[in-house]
Amino acid sequence: MIEVKNLVKKYGSHTAVDNLSFTLEPGRIYGFLGPNGAGKSTTMNIITGYLGATSGDVIIDGHNVLDEPEEAKKCIGYLPEIPPLYTDMTVNEYLHFAAKLKKLPKDKSEDFIEQAKEMAHVKDVEGRLIKNLSKGYRQRVGLAYAVLGFPDIIILDEPTVGLDPKQIIEIRDLIKELAKNHTVILSSHILSEVSEVCDYVLIISHGRLVASDTIDNLYKYMGKTSELEIQAKADEGSFRNAIAEVPGINDTECKTEDDFVKATIDYDGKDATLEAVFYALAQSRIPVYEMHKITKSLEELFIELTADTKEAE
């Protein structure tokens, strides 16, 4: 479990992390979201003990990172933004070195290394020098380092950067697999990835926490009425006439293109309204070519939330 209390980090006069507080429960996948320079990496670096906070506390499984750094660091596996690899070592040498640094018990470290190599799929390059590996493989070696010894908490800073689509899927599966027994925190700027992998999202903007909830709840937060997009073969006038009587419609915007009208209808979100629109158009003999609901994507949610804080400042 990670407890972050009133974390502040200042670089000179610039405040990178501004009074951040949150608690992370074990066994979940947390997504760290935020625009560039929001303080994601800084926060992760503070949690892992690489950077010191200006003020505030980080408590990991009951150990304060500042007072008991060794105990706290033993609970964490960390893959920073740029994997910390010694390029003049082979993958095997590197992982053995990492096992010693992590102070894994000697009799078990061989097993741990084997498991880590299998999980990160680096078995086939184990004897090669890291400097000769491609970016994707380096990223995976970094991942093997992070999961080595299976610490309780695994922190991954943009783990899928530089990987090909197949590898991205593999890594996502790996993260889901890890989450069965570990707490996983990952930061990403790929929102679809976060919405696919994570149970819980923390959105950070300008060093402050602007939202922290499950993805479903975040959508509910939006609280906006739903929108419907229709493309039909009609002119604007007859289209508007046809749906004028339908209850539950708040507003209609139309655009005419050749013979077609493209309408965006702001409605109350009920399925009955959808059906009523369909039947109304059918009765007026207006052929519908396309009709779909617009759900807000995480992107829009994200832009909205992070834009809000800017205005507030």
Residues that bind other proteins (CB under 8 A): 11, 45, 48-52, 69-71, 73-74, 76, 78, 80, 82, 84-89, 93, 97-98, 100-103, 145
Shortest Cβ 41–other proteins spacing (Å): 10
Residue 249 CA to residue 273 CA, distance in Å, equals 8
Distance, in Å, from the CA atom of 108 to the CA atom of 116, rounded to the nearest integer, reads: 12
Q: CB-wise, 6 or 214, nearer to other proteins?
A: 6
267 bridge partner residues: 249
CB of 136 to other proteins, least distance (A): 18
Measured from the CB of residue 115, what is the shortest distance to other proteins in angstroms? 18
Q: Whose Cβ is closer to other proteins: residue 54's or residue 256's?
A: 54
**Cβ-based nearer residue to other proteins, 94 or 239:** 94
Residues 6+ apart with CB under 8 A from 255: 261, 262, 263
Q: What is the dihedral of CA 169, 172, 178, 179, to 10 degrees?
A: -140
Output 30 or 145, the one with its CB closest to other proteins.
Answer: 145
Among 88, 9, 93, 14, CA closest to 44: 9
Distances (CA, A) of 66 to 8, 264, 308: 14, 55, 34
Distances (CA, A) of 279 to 228, 243, 270: 15, 9, 15
Q: Sign of dihedral through CA atoms 117, 129, 92, 79? A: negative
Helix 298-312 vs helix 215-222: crossing angle, to nearest 10 = 60
**Nearest distance from C-beta of residue 91 to other proteins, angstroms:** 14
Smaller CB separation from other proteins, 12 or 165: 12
Residue 89 or 291 having the CB closest to other proteins: 89
Q: How many whole angstroms separate alpha carbon 298 and alpha carbon 296? A: 7
Residue number with CB closer to other proteins (55 or 181)? 55
**Least distance to other proteins from the beta carbon of 52, Å?**
4
The Cα 112–Cα 77 span in angstroms is 13
**What CA–CA distance (Å, rounded) separates 65 from 61?**
10
Q: Round to whole Å and give the CA distance between 291 and 218.
A: 26
Q: How do 55-60 and 183-187 pair as beta strands?
A: unpaired
User: At its nearest, how many Å lie between other proteins and the CB of residue 160?
Assistant: 18
For residues 73 and 200, which CB has a smaller minimum distance to other proteins in the complex? 73
